[in-house]
Amino acid sequence: MCGIVGYIGDKKAQDVLLSGLKRLEYRGYDSAGIGVIEDNDIKVIKSKGNLAVLINKVGDETIGTQGIGHTRWATHGKPCDENSHPHLSENGKFCLVHNGIIENYLELKKELIGKGYNFKSDTDSEVIVNLFQLFDDGDFISTTKKVTGKIEGSYAIGVIDKENSDEFLVVRKDSPLVVGVGRGENFIASDIPAILEYTKNIYILDDGEIALISRDDVKIFDKAGNRITKKLREITWSLESAEKQGYEHFMLKEINEQPEAIRKTLAGRIKNDLVDLNLNMDDAYVKSINKIAIVACGTANYAGRVVGHLIEDKLRIPVLVSYASEFRYNNPIIDEKTLTIVISQSGETADTLAGLRESKGRGSKIVAITNVVESSVAREADYVIYTQAGPEIAVASTKAYTTQIIALFMLLIELGFKRDILDVATINEWVKEMQSVPEKMQLILENSQLIKNYAEQIKDSSSLFFIGRGVDSVSCLEGALKLKEISYIHAEAYPAGELKHGTLALITDDVPVIAIGTNKVLMDKIISNIAEVKTRGASTYGVGFEDENKLIAEVDYYIPIPRISEALAPLLAVIPLQLLAYYTSVVKGNDVDKPRNLAKSVTVE
């Protein structure tokens, strides 16, 4: 996904910009560029490909101390030099970087062409920079207001003006942007890690806000152009915590961080063996809830499915779990008695944010479960539960998933208690089980050699199946997603009982089947489903409790997990699946942390 960085100060801007862009590489991109003011002119250097290509091209080309940089993930127009950012206005006065999508850019482009403007790229972003030229009235703020009055869609924009080497401007709507404050120097970034090396003092801009940034000052304005005062936040994470800490890949580091991430997510929320999320949810409101809608994408959606299942089972409240990309187009049945739970690691996923707004517009209260403090979903929700996973850099989500499940589980307990469905003794029991998760995860992590061997065995398969019953079939969805995402092997998750209704035709001796069995009631069922695929020649792998002897005897290979209450089993069952995907990707020589075609945070629809 696109990344922005900007600088004004005494340092050579290209150095700050390139190091900032390097920190944003994890977001995924296909081209990059910088624009630096020098001698009343703007030097733009950009190229398709990775940062190494750009760094080589930049060389010692620029010496200016003010500039903007960008990593692009193509949305309008293919990845190529011309479509890379920054873009210059036709008269070369303005230079702009943009994250987001301008929905009415075609009309605007037509209008500008009609006025004699020529375009060099296929991007929607070049329209914006030419609007700066069109509306240029000598006052940066008033020009910006005119531009933002014309464009529809989402944007985080950084603009420099070659005639103004003392300041530059940023504005945002529905796309994140922060301003970093230093001494005699200031920064902008779409993500905090880009500038954390230089400053820990950050302004987080809200929708519609504009900031005018000079070496010694940051002036912030609301969308009407009135000067406002904002709270300067001190970011407490160190840059080190966003680095690999000795692991070969961020993904492996993040898989191994899960015990700690679960501990941190529980911390401060368990009191006297009861759960207190400090949400200040009114008891009468909790009792009035007659439906729960869970809205999220990808892995976050599967976390929702794991606990959605349990909420229906334990609290007897109907739960609708939707893919956020579909939700708002399905005319969902939501009203003020529906509680909507949105789940998003980044808190910036465009579809999830749109789902949140759809539900809110229909009168529902919103609980956001997110890993990013002050992210868009956090700011727009009525209640927020922060997962304490720390920055997740690998595109494949791991620790975000398990911390989302634990956060949801705590929410389930709190709702159950307030609705007089769960008694203290039951909650005490569940709390103890939750507290046992980190240690049990650790035991699985220590047994990873076995999984490494299995990765060798499956690495040349062209297709795999994950099968399970009940909530295990949700763990299958996550296992298959992980494997597809980073090993590029086709994998399909299937409710095991459905195989015989068509899919069994695909099972042959070169299609391994991974079966998850953690449910006692359904154990005999999954065992007969395994027998069905074995008969068709499939080699079978089982994931289940360490003492599940019947299951162990049925499969060819087995990955044991420590026993835990069935409700929490998905938290353990997913660890071998994450490791299997990881080691398969490594053995295939893939780019584990940055899989092809994917981005960490999907901030466009």
Report the catalytic residues: 2, 600
- Min. distance of Cβ 121 from ligand M6R in angstroms? 27
What lies within 8 Å, CB to CB, of 445 at 6+ separation is: 255, 256, 258, 259, 575, 579
300 versus 471: smaller Cβ distance to ligand M6R: 300
- Min. distance of Cβ 326 from ligand M6R in angstroms? 14
Tell me the window of 93-101, 314-322, 343-351, 358-366 that interacts with ligand M6R (CB under 6 A): 343-351
Q: Could you say whether residue 576 binds ligand M6R (CB under 6 A)?
A: no
- Determine the Cα–Cα distance for residues 395 and 27; give it in Å rounded to an integer: 7
Cα separation values, 179 from 241, 322, 333, 339, Å: 21, 35, 40, 34
DSSP label at 599?
A: -
Q: Could you say whether residue 376 binds ligand M6R (CB under 6 A)?
A: no
Tell me the window of 346-354, 495-503, 536-544, 562-570 that interacts with ligand M6R (CB under 6 A): 346-354
Among 514, 500, 485, 495, residue whose Cα is nearest residue 594:
485
What are the backbone angles phi and psi of residue 228, rounded to the nearest 5°? -130, 165
Helix axes 399-418, 569-587, angle to 10 degrees: 170
What are the backbone angles phi and psi of residue 41, rounded to the nearest 5°? -135, 170
Asked if the peptide bond before residue 86 counts as cis, ω within 30 degrees of 0, the response is yes
89 versus 344: smaller Cβ distance to ligand M6R: 344
329 versus 505: smaller Cβ distance to ligand M6R: 329
DSSP label at 231?
A: P
Tell me the window of 101-109, 243-251, 272-280, 294-302 that interacts with ligand M6R (CB under 6 A): 294-302
CB atoms within 10 A of CB 447: 16
Q: Could you say whether residue 258 binds ligand M6R (CB under 6 A)?
A: no
Bridge partner list, 38: 41
Q: Between 386 and 425, how does the x/- string for binding to ligand M6R read (CB under 6 A)?
A: ---------xxx----------------------------
45 versus 573: smaller Cβ distance to ligand M6R: 573
Q: Between 506 and 545, how does the x/- string for binding to ligand M6R read (CB under 6 A)?
A: ----------------------------------------
Q: Between 452 and 491, how does the x/- string for binding to ligand M6R read (CB under 6 A)?
A: -----------------------------x---x------
- The residue with its CB nearest to ligand M6R is 298
458 versus 481: smaller Cβ distance to ligand M6R: 481
Amino acid type, 504: L
Interface pick for ligand M6R out of 83, 349, 487, 539 (rule CB under 6 A): 349
211 versus 577: smaller Cβ distance to ligand M6R: 577
Interface pick for ligand M6R out of 45, 169, 252, 297 (rule CB under 6 A): 297
Tell me the window of 77-85, 167-175, 181-189, 298-306 that interacts with ligand M6R (CB under 6 A): 298-306
What lies within 8 Å, CB to CB, of 148 at 6+ separation is: 155, 171, 173, 208, 223
Interface pick for ligand M6R out of 151, 177, 266, 300 (rule CB under 6 A): 300
- Determine the Cα–Cα distance for residues 465 and 483; give it in Å rounded to an integer: 11
- Min. distance of Cβ 602 from ligand M6R in angstroms? 5
Residue 180: both structure tokens together: 């970093």
Contact 389, 399 (CB under 8 A): yes
11 versus 490: smaller Cβ distance to ligand M6R: 490
Q: Between 224 and 243, how does the x/- string for binding to ligand M6R read (CB under 6 A)?
A: --------------------
Interface pick for ligand M6R out of 466, 601, 603, 604 (rule CB under 6 A): 601
Long-range contacts of 536-540 (CB under 8 A, 24+ apart): 536/504, 536/507, 536/508, 536/509, 537/507, 537/508, 537/509, 538/465, 538/507, 538/508, 538/509, 538/511, 538/512, 538/513, 539/457, 539/509, 539/512, 539/513, 540/512, 540/513, 540/514, 540/515
Interface pick for ligand M6R out of 299, 402, 539, 578 (rule CB under 6 A): 299
Q: Could you say whether residue 574 binds ligand M6R (CB under 6 A)?
A: no
- Min. distance of Cβ 205 from ligand M6R in angstroms? 19
H, E, C per residue of 243-259? CCCCCCCHHHHHHHCHH
Residue 183: both structure tokens together: 């001494």
Interface pick for ligand M6R out of 192, 293, 389, 602 (rule CB under 6 A): 602
Report the first-to-last Cα separation within the chain, whole angstroms: 12
Interface pick for ligand M6R out of 31, 123, 345, 402 (rule CB under 6 A): 345
Interface pick for ligand M6R out of 175, 344, 359, 529 (rule CB under 6 A): 344
Q: Could you say whether residue 28 binds ligand M6R (CB under 6 A)?
A: no
213 versus 381: smaller Cβ distance to ligand M6R: 381
Size of the residue set binding ligand M6R (CB under 6 A): 16
298 versus 560: smaller Cβ distance to ligand M6R: 298
128 versus 407: smaller Cβ distance to ligand M6R: 407
What is the rounded (10 degree) CA torsion for 478, 482, 483, 487? 170
Q: Which residue has the tokens 């899919």?
A: 503
Among 458, 535, 456, residue whose Cα is nearest residue 491:
458
Pairing mode, strands 167-173 and 383-386: unpaired
352-371 residues near ligand M6R, rule: CB under 6 A: 352
Which of left, alpha, beta for 537 (phi over 0: left; psi -120 to 50: alpha)? left
Q: Which residues bind ligand M6R (CB under 6 A)?
A: 297-300, 344-346, 349, 352, 395-397, 481, 485, 601-602
